Chain A
Amino acid sequence: MTALRALIVALLLALALAPAASADSITGRGAPPESAGASLPFANGFMMRLAAAQKRLNDTISAEFRSVRDGGSRMAILVILGLSFLYGALHAVGPGHGKAVVASYFVANRARWTAGIVMGSMISLIQGVSAIAMVGLLAILLQWRQFEVLNRAASVEFVSYALIALLGAVMLFRALTGRGHHHDHEHHEHSPHPPLPSGERGKGSTHRLDLKLVIAAGLTPCASAIIILLFALANDALGVGIAAVAVLSLGMALTVSTIGVASVLGRHTLLRVLDAVGVKSHRFEQSLAAVGAFCIVAVSSLLMLGAWYRI
């Protein structure tokens, strides 16, 4: 309940604080940025195939929404839901959706692989709730124009990244100074830390997720979810739209959770290898905590700048 209240307060705050959107309807952003960012070799047609698959799904989902409007069958609804799952899973493969935050978080923190699933799913599902809440409030209650709603989503994105950067900075500070409540590694005899409260200690690696971070990353509504909801609204099928976004979020949860689990296992493997070659993994874990936190700060700051020029 506390988490739910925190989510509602955070979303309302984000909406209130979000700078007025000036993004263009068609480019979805303001003027182009000055400089280029990092580079990965994607010259293998991967992005092209990924986009083409999403386009086909988008086409079919649109057509099925029309048949729902025209008195449609249950079959149309089933097709919409099934394809929305696939759409979400594929869509989340592209940049964004909190994958970087999840990956970095599990570089920094020891956790079970199930925590990767929990965090990935929570972020994706909260993103879906955020999209539904925004469309409900702005498009239905306040009767905003469609592009105003979509552009406001970009503003909320900015606030979300700013919060993540802030939380990452706190994590980084704690990692560098050795303070903080996230040290859930077994305590060595000469450990400078006081014993942890019993809830956080547990056996081995019961890790408590940073809910603040999860909520901050979940605030960002996915533009695709908003577009689907607006289309559903235009076709008098809001209920189906909400169901589709719920399923879309599950699809995204699959992808983001996969990244989370990969990161947990990656860290685990790395530490095991280090143990095997006789490196003291205790000190190394502190370095990882700093590296992960630094990644969160770096990526969210970059994304924050990206969101800034789009609003």
Chain B
Amino acid sequence: MRRGVAAAAALMLSAMPAAAHPHVFIDYAVVLQFDGGALKSVRMTWTFDEMYSSMLFQDYTSHPRGPLSAADVSQLRKGAFEDTADYHYFVDVTLNGKPVEVKKVTDFAAKFERHRMTYSFTVPIPDAPASGKSALEIAAFDNEFYIDFELVDKDAVGFENSEGLGVSCAPKKARKDTPVIGAVDTIVMACNWGQAS
């Protein structure tokens, strides 16, 4: 009996829940924005797969093709962006080992180019120190796999006002918890800058 239960449990787990598996594919890139030697914010850019881009375009714009108007961008923000606040905008970020809680983002923008919808928005990083060594890890990640986030192949990271800080970034394998299938491996962008004081 016990073996039966164990076998059944293993089978069940191997086929475990939810409508997880990705239905949306997003390429993302980040720009680290410094001010006075301190990291102030990160600009996040999402580029959707063509199929999802097409759905967003058809449902949230008032014209069959062409560039987005300010009204379109506002529709997209209200209808297909703002609710991601419940998921911290799918941004996972730690500064010097401590998670930064992402509650609010600013400067939402959207464009539609070469069949793809691109969103960008600014994630404020409060209380980053202006001196000393700092380390940041950032990733876009949906722990339920409805959305598959991947770093773009080229220019996945950029910098603003980073002169003299010696910023260096590289993608790094990391482990993240998911509610459905436990810990999974993913890629995060890991950055270091500043001098030991």
Query: Which residues does A use to contact B, with CB under 8 Å?
Result: 24-29, 31-33, 35-48, 51-52, 54-55, 58-59, 62-63, 66, 91, 93-96, 99-100, 102-104, 107, 145-147, 150, 154, 157, 223-224, 227-228, 230-231, 234, 259, 263, 266, 270, 284, 287-288, 291-292, 294-295, 298-299, 302-303, 306-307, 310
Contact = CB atoms under 8 A, between A and B. Distances in A.
A42 B11 contact: no
A231 B50 CA distance: 9
A147 B81 CA distance: 13
Tell me whether chain B's interface is mostly helix, strand or loop, or mixed.
mixed
Interface of B: 1, 3-5, 7-9, 11-25, 49-52, 54-56, 58-60, 79-81, 83-84, 86-87, 115, 144-148, 150, 173, 175, 178-187
B11 A107 contact: yes
10 contacts: A26-B84, A27-B146, A28-B19, A48-B184, A54-B22, A103-B14, A107-B11, A230-B55, A263-B11, A306-B17
A94 B145 contact: yes
Contacts of A26: 24, 80-81, 83-84, 147
B84 A27 contact: yes
Contacts of B22: 51, 54-55, 94
B179 A33 contact: yes
A28 B146 contact: yes
Given A100-B16, A147-B59, A58 B146 contact: no
A100 B24 CA distance: 23
A187 to B, nearest CB: 22
Contacts of A46: 184
A23 B20 CA distance: 15
Contact of A270 (B4, B21, B58, B144): B4
Given A43-B183, A224-B23, A228-B51, A299 B12 contact: yes
A295 B1 CA distance: 14
Contact of B4 (A52, A59, A66, A288): A288
Given A27-B83, A48-B186, A62-B50, A55 B115 contact: no
Contacts of B183: 39, 41-43
The prevalent SS among residues of A at the interface is helix
B180 A95 contact: yes
Given A28-B23, A99-B15, A104 B185 contact: no
Nearest to A284: B4
Given A24-B84, A58-B51, A95-B16, 15 more contacts: A28-B19, A32-B86, A36-B179, A41-B182, A42-B184, A51-B148, A54-B22, A62-B49, A95-B19, A145-B58, A231-B54, A234-B54, A266-B11, A299-B15, A306-B18
B87 A266 contact: no
A29 B146 contact: yes
B145 A103 contact: no
Contacts of B81: 26
Nearest to B90: A27
A184 to B, nearest CB: 18
Contacts of B12: 100, 103-104, 295, 298-299
Given A32-B86, A234-B58, A287-B4, A43 B185 contact: yes
A205 to B, nearest CB: 18
Given A263-B11, A292-B8, A147 B184 contact: no
B8 A107 contact: yes
A58 B185 contact: no
A147 B145 CA distance: 18
